[in-house]
């Protein structure tokens, strides 16, 4: 296929995508001249170019469409429902021919006369003038002529002079700002419209972008290694810091280049909603929010199908028929909301409807019927757990199998696809009120934060995303802290039993391992798709940003590793897949309920029950555990100063550090000194507390003032000793805290 | 590793002879010398220490970092049921239909030019396993050079076989 044809195909596809968006908008605003102009232009451009390239079949169809659109644009026809349906068929017709050209390099010999006849029949209601004048006018307006909105007083206004550089658009009702923006950022929009946009953008092959991403990943690795190797050398500090910054910037830029607004996939939804609500007899209003939220191109591709499926589900199972809705006292028109937003290091895409919700009892029955769980088990499950069952393969509650959904391959596919790109799916439903499905997608694919753990004399990377906390059990406490039921190890975590998996025993079942009483045990409390368990490892190393490298098929088949990575010390580490480990160890979903309990318990603790006991310059102090995000050990040289105020720089994000104990000046004299900073949440900002040692976690008891018996503030009884509580609020704010608080959340991917 | 001066000269005269000559990289495993056609070798990585992969099939020698990727290696010792060797090993990076993989050997020798007429197929007394891995041998003056077929060493293929 020659370059020209390829170019033509890409441009036409883009034009048709825009046309589709406009057509669905047209339904709500049939008189919108800008929309009509846009649609007309898309078809007109295709027709113009096809004539030139010699695609006769395409030209004929586009011509028929253009005639009809010409009448519409000139106000001789009104865009009613059948007409829009006809235009959508035209769109499909054009698409299928383009597809044939793409695959076979020729138009194929399909017959379009029926569609052309239909389009001609649709011209009939015009019954005023025949299209002659109107479309002659359209012809004379060459491709370069942006179409002016017709003035209603002059029915067949002559096209405006062709020198206007920017298409005339109504000031108030811009049809679809997002598609416009997306077209301008990565692809030159069809020649006539925006010359300036076309000049400042260029088309880049995705393969090249992928390659760049890989190289940047390499650079990040090399940077990590350089930073580790030069950490001790004061001469290199400046250079390596600069390398650190440049790498971070470069990585961000390359990632940005791969970003595309979610409007690219959201734009397909209105059409689906329109078609489905017609065939299902529903009345649905679609609300879209956060269209300009951006995601990596490959992630967008990956969630396209899950999203479509979720929308289909909402329409088919969620939103009831208008009669049912009225009977239930609801607005006969249902609402489907599509919302994209940033949340921490994730993009959250929400599909919510105000339909019937999921009847939990039906789910229970269905699951038993399909043999997915036993009746006994089902009776024990709570509402939230029952909802999770719809993600099981082979589950479908549709009373009747329709061609829309309900083929029994529903939600499990949504879940698998989203999990494949490291995301999570959450569902929330209330009978009679509606259902919300939340897709949580990580911002980056290739680089993730991970905790490096040690086991069987090797390093392994544990993705931070599923890590909720760490518990250290020294050898002397192991006998009591780890309990057994018939060979199954358990740990009592805040009163709840947590199933344990010993990583060494799982990885090397044949070998003898050191007894738990002869070594340190670290329990990484993991939450993988609702399976909560503790993974026991022999040691912890630093958290690192790791670059995920794919494994060969042979090693992927082992099933426990999701990839491998190169660490800062140039060692290779396998990336553990918590979900697969849980599955292999037989940890079941039922743990979900427990995890909620623990969260609730944590909330209770926030009211001042548990404290992190630290030593600050010889004094003992307590930090409310609920406010602790993580504990960092870093070289003292990482601390920088604004005036006299110590701050920490995490890739451009500043955090004030409280040094009431005077630890920092002492440490800085020694270039090798490490300091410990407890990172806490205070309101919406993060503050660091420099401490000498972290001693323990303990519950505090209230103290009362003698005589008055009033509860005292600022102190607590920890381990039988009166201990002062660190007042996080007293840490002075940074000058620009107001604007940066939102970003803080991003580095707060934490263990807390 | 030293590369012996190759006698093969692709000049005007030797067209017939060159068609019958094969360049082979020799690798040592214990006392035995094996040959791998150099056309399949992408690169030789010396003194590597592959990272073991727990639970991997026995013939997997571990992972090494190779040009930004993580390369799965196949241990020739394991394949031939020889005891594992302590310390660093050399790796031949081989290209096969399924992508790249590494072949762990004790050490890499020189590149030899052998004549196709000295080639003989696998002897019938070899056990099945070795028959599957070897591609005959070249009769050198002083010893035999057992040929390995890179395609048959591909880890994915090995996993299907086992």
Q: What is the 3-state secondary structure (H, E, C) of B56-91?
A: CCCCEEEEEEECCEEEEEEEHHHHCCCCCCCCCEEE
Residue A452's pLDDT band, with cuts at 50, 70 and 90, is very high
Cβ-Cβ contacts under 8 Å, A553 against chain B: 98, 155-156, 159
Is pLDDT at A736 greater than 80 in this prediction?
A: no
Among the residues of A258-319, which ranges form H helices? 263-266, 269-280, 297-313
For the domain that residue B67 is a member of, what is the CATH number? 2.40.50.180
Query: Is A502's Cβ below 8 Å from some Cβ in B?
Result: no
Of the pLDDT bands very low, low, confident and very high (cuts 50, 70, 90), residue B75 is very high
CB of A218 within 8 Å of any CB in chain B? yes
Shortest Cα–Cα distance, B50 to chain A (Å): 9
Q: Which tokens go with A572?
A: 């290779």
- Contact between A703 and A712 under an 8 Å Cβ cutoff? The reply is yes
Band of the pLDDT at A110, cuts 50, 70, 90?
confident
Is the CB of residue A215 less than 8 Å away from at least one CB of chain B?
Answer: yes
Partner-chain contact B70 A215, CB within 8 Å: no
> What pLDDT sits at residue A84?
83
Give the pLDDT mean for A17-24.
82
User: pLDDT tens across A587-633, in order?
Assistant: 765 434 444 444 444 444 444 467 888 888 778 888 888 788 888 88
User: Can you give the pLDDT at residue A125?
Assistant: 59
Output the pLDDT for position A137.
40
Residue with tokens 């499926």: A309
> Is residue B10 very low, low, confident or very high in pLDDT (cuts 50, 70, 90)?
very low
pLDDT score for A344:
58
**Domain span holding position B124:** 21-161
Vertex B146: Cα angle to B141 and B151 (nearest 5): 145
What integer pLDDT is reported at residue A534 of this predicted model?
A: 93
Cα separation, A96 vs A490, whole angstroms? 59
Q: Do A572 and B64 touch (CB under 8 A)?
A: yes
Quote helix, strand, coil % in chain B, to nearest 5: 20, 45, 35
At A87 the pLDDT is 85
Contact A81, A63 (CB under 8 A): no
- Is A112:A60 a contact under the CB 8 Å cutoff? yes
Structure token digits, residue A436: 């919300």
Higher model confidence: residue A137 or residue A358?
A358
pLDDT higher than threshold 60 for residue A79: yes
Contact A466, A527 (CB under 8 A): yes
- Candidates A217, A560, A564; nearest CB to B55: A560
Summary mean pLDDT of chain B? 82
Q: With an 8 Å Cβ cutoff, are B53 and A555 in contact?
A: yes
Chain B: closest CA distance from residue A268 (Å): 37
**Gap between the Cα atoms of A585 and A589, Å rounded:** 12
Inter-CA distances, A398 with A228, A249, A407, Å: 57, 50, 9
Q: How many CB pairs under 8 A join A and B?
A: 65
Task: Copy the structure tokens of residue B61.
Answer: 């020698």
How far is the CA of A5 from the CAs of A49, A59, A102, A486, in angstroms? 10, 14, 9, 70
Looking at the predicted structure, is the pLDDT value of residue A525 above 90?
yes
Residue A454 has a pLDDT of 92
Q: Is the pLDDT of residue A200 over 50?
A: yes
pLDDT: which is higher, A209 or B99: A209
Q: How distant, in Å, are the alpha carbons of A710, A711, B120 from that of A704?
A: 5, 4, 95
| Residue A490: pLDDT over 60 | yes
Residue A177 tokens, joined: 């700002």
Instruction: Pick the most confident of A153-157, A491-495, A513-517.
Output: A491-495
For the stretch A628-653, what's the b/e string if a residue is b when 16 or more beta carbons lie within 10 angstroms of its beta carbon?
Answer: bbbbbebbbbbbeeeeeebebebeee
Does pLDDT of A278 surpass 50?
yes
Q: Which residue has the higher pLDDT, A547 or B162?
A: A547
Quick: pLDDT tens for A145-177. Answer: 444 444 443 344 344 433 333 333 333 434 444
H or E element, residue A215: helix A206-230
DSSP state of B150: H
- Give the residue from chain A lying closest to B59, CA to CA: A554
Pairing of strands A693-701, A572-576: unpaired
Q: What confidence tens digit (pLDDT) does each residue in B80-121 have?
A: 888 888 788 899 999 877 778 999 999 999 999 998 888 889
| Residue B53: predicted pLDDT | 92
- Rounded CA-CA distance A419/A427 in Å is 14
- A556 at B interface, C-beta within 8 A: no
* B-chain residues near A560 (CB < 8 A): 55
* Residue A36, C-beta contacts closer than 8 angstroms, at least 6 positions apart: A26, A69, A72, A73, A79, A149
Q: Hey, CA dihedral for A86, A88, A89, A95, is it positive or negative?
A: positive
Contact A676, A599 (CB under 8 A): no
DSSP assignment of A591-651, as one string? Answer: HHHHHHHHHHHHHHHHTT-EEEEEEETTEEEEEEGGGEEEEEEEEGGGEEEETTEEEEEET
Could you read off the pLDDT of B124-159 as tens digits, one per residue?
Answer: 888 888 888 888 999 888 888 999 988 888 888 887
Q: Which two tokens stand for residue A368?
A: 């038993």
> What is the reported pLDDT for A86?
84
Based on the structure, what is the number of domains in chain B? Answer: 1
**Would you call B41 exposed, middle or buried from its count of C-beta atoms within 10 A (0-12, 13-18, 19+)?**
buried
Beta strand A424-430 with A521-528: parallel, antiparallel or unpaired?
A: unpaired
- Contact A554/B57, CB-based, under 8 Å? yes
Give the residue with greater pLDDT, B101 vs A28: B101
* Dihedral over Cα of A528, A532, A533, A534: its sign: positive
How would residue A29 be classed by pLDDT, with cut points 50, 70 and 90?
Answer: confident
Confidence grade of residue A305 (pLDDT, cut at 50, 70, 90): confident
Residues of chain A neighbouring B161 (CB-CB closer than 8 A): none
Candidates A215, A553, A570; nearest CB to B156: A553
**Residue A545 has what pLDDT?**
79
Query: Do A574 and B53 make contact, defined as CB atoms within 8 angstroms?
Result: yes
**Structure token pair of residue A695:** 């001693």
Instruction: State whether residue B135 sits within 8 Å of chain A by CB.
Output: no
Q: Tokens 């300091």 identify what position? A: A675
pLDDT at A405: 45
Beta bridge partners of residue B102, listed in sequence order:
B73, B93
The neighbouring-strand residues paired with A526 are A467, A533
Q: Which residue of A has its CA nearest to B61?
A: A555
**Residue B112, token pair as written in the block:** 């030899």
Give the integer Cα–Cα distance in Å for A257 and A260.
8
> Does the predicted model carry a pTM greater than 0.90?
no
pLDDT band at A461; cut points 50, 70, 90: very high
Residue A166: per-residue pLDDT: 38
Please say whether the beta carbons of A567 and A573 come within 8 A: yes
Shortest Cα–Cα distance, B55 to chain A (Å): 6
Sheet containing strand A539-547, edge to edge, reads A539-547, A447-455, A458-463, A572-576, A561-566
Q: Do B65 and A555 touch (CB under 8 A)?
A: no
> In the structure encoding, which two tokens stand for residue A156, read together?
């067949």
Q: DSSP character for A22?
A: H
What pLDDT digit, counting tens, does each position of A620-640 carry?
888 888 788 888 888 887 888
Do A469 and A522 form a contact (C-beta atoms < 8 A)?
Answer: no
Confidence of residue A522 (pLDDT cuts 50, 70, 90): very high
- Any domain includes B85: yes
Q: What is the interface pTM, i.e. ipTM, of the complex?
A: 0.82
Most confident of A373-377, A390-394, A735-739, A741-745: A373-377
- Chain B residues with beta carbon closer than 8 angstroms to that of A556: none
Q: What is the pLDDT of residues A391-413, one digit of tens each?
A: 776 676 554 444 444 444 467 77
Which residue in A214, A554, A565 is closest to B60 by CB distance? A554
What whole-number distance in Å separates Cα of residue A59 and Cα of residue A56? 5
Q: Which residue of chain A has the CA closest to B67?
A: A218
Give how far A368 is from chain B: nearest CA, Å: 36
Burial of A371 (0-12, 13-18, 19+ CB in 10 A): exposed
- How many of the other CB atoms lie within 10 Å of CB of A358? 22
What residues of B are in contact with residue A552 (Cβ under 8 Å)?
A: 71-72, 98-99, 101, 155-156
> Any chain A CB within 8 A of the CB of B99?
yes
Closest C-alpha to A698, from A618, A603, A617, A621: A621
Which helix (H) or strand (E) segment holds residue A584: the answer is helix A578-585
- Give me the torsion for CA of A214, A220, A225, A230, rounded to 10°: 150
**Beta strands A619-624 and A434-442, pairing class:** unpaired
In a domain, B12, yes or no: no
For a pLDDT cut of 90, what percent of chain A falls above it? Answer: 5
Name chain B contacts of A549, Cβ cutoff 8 Å.
68-70
Alpha-carbon distance values, A392 to A100, A389, A502, B160 (Å): 38, 5, 27, 30
Average pLDDT taken over every residue of chain A: 76
Residue B5 lies in a domain: no
Q: How far is B92 from chain A (nearest CA, A)?
A: 17
| Closest residue to A554, CB basis, from B52, B65, B159 | B159
Assess whether pLDDT exceeds 70 at residue A542. yes
Structure confidence at residue A493 (pLDDT): 85
- Report the C-alpha gap between A277 and A673 in whole angstroms: 66
Rounded to whole angstroms, the Cα distance separating B33 from A279 reads 72
Distance (Å, rounded) from C-alpha B130 to C-alpha B122? 9
B155 inside 8 A of chain A by CB: yes
Q: Do the Cβ atoms of A107 and A101 come closer than 8 Å? A: yes
Number of C-beta neighbours around residue A163 at 10 A: 8
Assess A585–B contact: CB distance below 8 Å, yes or no: no
Of A258-267, A644-653, B33-42, least confident by mean pLDDT is A644-653
What whole-number distance in Å separates Cα of residue A106 and Cα of residue A54? Answer: 10
Separation in Å, CA of B19 to nearest CA in chain A: 36
Distance CA A42, CA A704 (A): 77
B70 and chain A: CB distance < 8 Å anywhere? yes
Choose, out of B47, B53, B73, the residue to mutate when testing the contact with A (most A CBs < 10 Å). Answer: B53
> How far apart are alpha carbons A560 and A548 in whole angstroms?
15
Q: Which residues pair with B65 in a beta bridge?
A: B70
Domain-embedded: residue B120: yes
Residues 1-60 of B with CB under 8 A from A: 51-57, 60
pLDDT at A735 exceeding the cut of 70? no
| Buried b / exposed e along A1-15 (16+ C-beta atoms within 10 A) | eeeeeeebeebbbbb
- CA triple A370-A373-A377, angle to 5 deg: 145
* B56 to chain A, closest Cα gap in Å: 6
pLDDT of residue A356: 84
Task: Tell me, yes or no, whether B133 lies in a domain.
Answer: yes
**A530 or A716, greater pLDDT:** A716
In a domain, B16, yes or no: no
Query: Confidence class of residue B3 from pLDDT cuts 50, 70 and 90?
Result: very low
Q: Does the pLDDT of residue A523 top 90, yes or no?
A: yes
């Amino acid at each position: 296929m020659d370059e020209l044809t390829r170019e033509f195909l890409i441009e036409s596809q883009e034009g048709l995508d825009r046309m589709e968006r406009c057509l669905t908008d047209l339904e709500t605003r049939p008189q919108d001249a800008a929309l009509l102009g846009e649609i007309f232009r898309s078809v007109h451009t295709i027709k113009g170019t096809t004539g030139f390239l010699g695609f006769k079949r395409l030209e004929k169809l586009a011509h028929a469409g253009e005639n009809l659109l010409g009448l519409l644009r000139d106000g001789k026809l009104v865009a009613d429902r059948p007409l829009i349906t006809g235009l959508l068929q035209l769109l499909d017709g054009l698409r299928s021919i383009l597809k044939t050209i793409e695959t076979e390099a020729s138009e194929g010999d399909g017959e379009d006369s029926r569609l052309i006849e239909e389009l001609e029949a649709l011209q009939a209601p015009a019954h005023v003038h025949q299209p002659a004048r109107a479309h002659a006018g359209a012809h004379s307006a060459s491709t370069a002529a942006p179409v002016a909105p017709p003035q209603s007083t002059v029915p067949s206004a002559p096209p405006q002079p062709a020198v206007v550089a920017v298409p005339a658009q109504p000031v108030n009702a811009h049809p679809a700002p997002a598609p416009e923006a997306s077209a301008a950022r990565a692809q030159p929009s069809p020649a006539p419209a925006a010359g300036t946009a076309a000049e400042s953008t260029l088309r880049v092959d995705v393969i090249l972008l992928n390659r760049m991403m890989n190289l940047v990943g390499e650079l990040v690795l090399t940077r990590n290694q350089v930073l580790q190797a030069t950490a001790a050398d004061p001469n290199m500090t400046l250079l390596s810091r600069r390398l650190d910054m440049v790498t971070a910037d470069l990585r961000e830029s390359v990632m940005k280049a791969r970003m595309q607004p979610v409007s690219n996939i959201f734009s397909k939804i209105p059409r689906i909603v329109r078609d489905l609500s017609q065939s299902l007899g529903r009345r649905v209003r679609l609300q879209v929010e956060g269209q300009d939220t951006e995601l990596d191109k490959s992630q967008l591709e990956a969630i396209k199908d899950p999203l479509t499926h979720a929308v289909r589900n909402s329409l088919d199972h969620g939103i009831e028929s208008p009669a049912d809705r009225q009977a239930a006292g609801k607005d006969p028109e249902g609402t489907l909301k599509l919302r994209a937003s940033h949340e921490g290091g994730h993009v959250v895409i929400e599909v919510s409807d105000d339909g019937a919700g999921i009847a939990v009892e039906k789910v229970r029955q269905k699951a038993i019927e399909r043999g997915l769980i036993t009746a006994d088990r089902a009776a024990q499950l709570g509402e939230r757990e029952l909802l999770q069952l719809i993600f099981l393969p082979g589950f479908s509650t549709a009373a009747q199998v329709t061609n829309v959904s309900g083929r029994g391959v529903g939600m499990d596919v949504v879940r698998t696809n989203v999990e494949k790109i490291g995301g999570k799916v959450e569902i929330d439903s209330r009978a009679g009120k509606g259902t919300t499905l939340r897709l949580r997608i990580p911002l980056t694919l290739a680089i993730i934060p991970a905790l490096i753990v040690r086991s069987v004399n090797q390093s392994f990377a544990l993705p931070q995303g599923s890590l909720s906390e760490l518990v250290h059990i020294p050898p002397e406490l192991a006998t009591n802290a780890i309990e057994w039921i018939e060979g199954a190890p358990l740990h009592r975590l805040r009163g709840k039993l947590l199933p344990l998996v010993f990583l060494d025993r799982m990885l090397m079942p044949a070998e003898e391992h050191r007894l738990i009483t002869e070594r340190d045990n670290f329990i990484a409390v993991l939450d993988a798709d609702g399976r909560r368990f503790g993974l026991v490892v022999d040691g912890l190393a630093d958290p690192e940003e790791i670059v995920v490298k794919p494994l060969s098929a042979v090693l992927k088949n082992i099933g426990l590793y999701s990839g491998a990575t190169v660490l800062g010390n140039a060692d290779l580490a396998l990336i553990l897949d918590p979900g697969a480990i849980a599955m292999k160890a037989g940890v079941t979903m039922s743990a979900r309920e427990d995890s909620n309990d623990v969260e609730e318990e944590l909330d209770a603790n926030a009211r001042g029950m548990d404290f992190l006991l630290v030593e600050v310059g010889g004094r003992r102090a307590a930090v409310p555990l609920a406010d602790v995000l993580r504990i960092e050990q870093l070289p003292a040289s990482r601390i920088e100063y604004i005036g006299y105020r110590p701050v920490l720089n995490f890739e451009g994000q500043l955090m004030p550090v409280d040094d009431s104990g005077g630890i920092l000046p002492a440490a800085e004299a020694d270039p090798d000194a490490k300091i410990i900073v407890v990172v806490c949440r205070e309101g919406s900002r993060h503050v660091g507390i420099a401490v000498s040692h972290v001693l323990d976690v303990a519950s505090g008891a209230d103290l009362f003032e003698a005589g008055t018996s009033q509860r005292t503030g600022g102190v607590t009884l920890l381990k039988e000793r009166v201990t002062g509580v660190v007042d996080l609020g007293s840490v002075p704010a940074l000058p620009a805290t107001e604007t940066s608080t939102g970003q803080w959340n991003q580095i707060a991917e934490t263990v807390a | 590793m030293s590369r012996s001066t190759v006698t093969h000269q692709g000049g005007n005269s030797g067209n017939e002879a060159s068609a019958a000559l094969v360049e082979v990289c020799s690798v040592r495993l214990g006392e035995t010398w094996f040959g791998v056609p150099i056309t399949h070798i992408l690169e030789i990585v010396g003194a590597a220490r592959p990272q073991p992969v727990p639970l991997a099939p026995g013939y997997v020698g571990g992972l090494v970092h190779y040009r930004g990727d993580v390369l799965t290696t196949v241990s020739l010792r394991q394949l031939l049921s020889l005891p594992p060797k302590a310390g660093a090993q050399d790796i031949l990076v081989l290209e096969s239909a399924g992508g790249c993989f590494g072949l762990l050997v004790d050490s890499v020798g020189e590149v030899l030019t052998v004549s196709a007429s000295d080639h003989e197929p696998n002897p019938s007394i070899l056990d099945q396993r070795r028959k599957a891995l070897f591609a005959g041998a070249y009769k050198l003056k002083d010893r035999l050079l057992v040929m390995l077929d890179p395609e048959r060493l591909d880890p994915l293929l090995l996993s299907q076989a086992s």
